Structure 1
Amino acid sequence: MKIITNNSLVVEKFESIYEVEYIDGDFMKILTTCRDYIHNKYRLLTHPLAGSIKPNETPYKTIMIDDVEKLDTESLLLIEKAIDTTKKFQNNFKTPLWTDTILEDFKVIDLDLIKNVIETVNYYVK
């Protein structure tokens, strides 16, 4: 399993347990990086738009993926739809320039989301 994130709190929490790839980029960069992995025989383990925060509201995103033997078309369709949805949201309303305090809150929310699914993912992947 691999974690793709642009959230430093996720890196700190999970780098000793999982393979974590930190991406210095925005929400869209996380999605396109995951899409590239899917093209190279990975599948999504977490939904790319999980959570109730819209993709144009938060700059942080964490997604879990896992390698597979062949192209996972379901993951590819899901990530492409997430990219399209994110583009629509960002075209309508750009991500605000949040204060540092609010940015830290978004990091904590993203960390919380991934922490809450990791045990479930571990159960089903084994």
Structure 2
Amino acid sequence: MNYIVMTNNPLVLSKLNDTHDVIYQELSYEGLLKLVRDRIYGGHRLLTHPLSGSVKPNETPYKSVLLSGQKEKIDEESVRLIESAILACQKFQDKSKSYKEEVYKDFQLVDWTLLESGLASADAW
């Protein structure tokens, strides 16, 4: 199956840019979710959950999501999931700008690790 990696995580970009279709934007967590939402309304389908992991939205600045590479009819489940994720994100205060530099590296690694498991599943399809 072909897929798109959408991310605001520079670690993901550096690891996958040469081998995968990566859309990287320097955006907030919520900003990335809104960009993913726009793709979903354009016919792409979510392949990974937009709130995967145990870190609350807006506590981490980084998020990576897999979307189908092919456009299809709008997938209602993907719409429901991304809209719910955006609403959840808006419930939490954005703490992502108040960390020390090494904490950002940790958050990048957490996001990368979560994405890696999604990539393994996507590559097996």
Q: Tell me if TM exceeds 0.5.
A: yes
Partners of 2:111 and 2:66 lie apart in 1 by: 12
1:84 aligns with 2:74: no
Corresponding residue number in structure 1 for 2:10? 8
After TM superposition, the structure 1 stretch with the greater mean CA deviation from structure 2, 64-73 or 49-58, is 64-73
Partners of 1:101 and 1:60 lie apart in 2 by: 14
Q: Deviations over 1:59-114 (max 9, x none)?
A: 00000101332111110110000000110123xxx314100010111001111110
Letter aligned with residue 71 of structure 2: V
Residue number among 42, 57, 60 corresponding to 2:59 in the alignment? 57
Structure 2 length as normaliser, TM-score? 0.92
> Any stretches of 5+ residues in structure 1 without a counterpart?
none
Partners of 1:24 and 1:47 lie apart in 2 by: 20
1:122 aligns with 2:120: no
Partners of 2:29 and 2:17 lie apart in 1 by: 20
Q: Would the aligned equivalents of 2:50 and 2:82 in 1 still touch at CA under 8 Å?
A: yes
Q: Secondary structure at the match of 2:91?
A: helix
**Shift of residue 39, structure 1, vs aligned partner:** 0.6
Partners of 2:92 and 2:33 lie apart in 1 by: 14
**Shift of residue 41, structure 1, vs aligned partner:** 0.4
Corresponding residue number in structure 1 for 2:76? 73
How large is the RMSD of aligned CA atoms in angstroms? 1.0
Q: Would the aligned equivalents of 1:23 and 1:29 in 2 still touch at CA under 8 Å?
A: no
Corresponding residue number in structure 2 for 1:23? 25
**Shift of residue 29, structure 1, vs aligned partner:** 0.9
> Any stretches of 5+ residues in structure 2 without a counterpart?
none
Q: Secondary structure at the match of 2:5?
A: strand
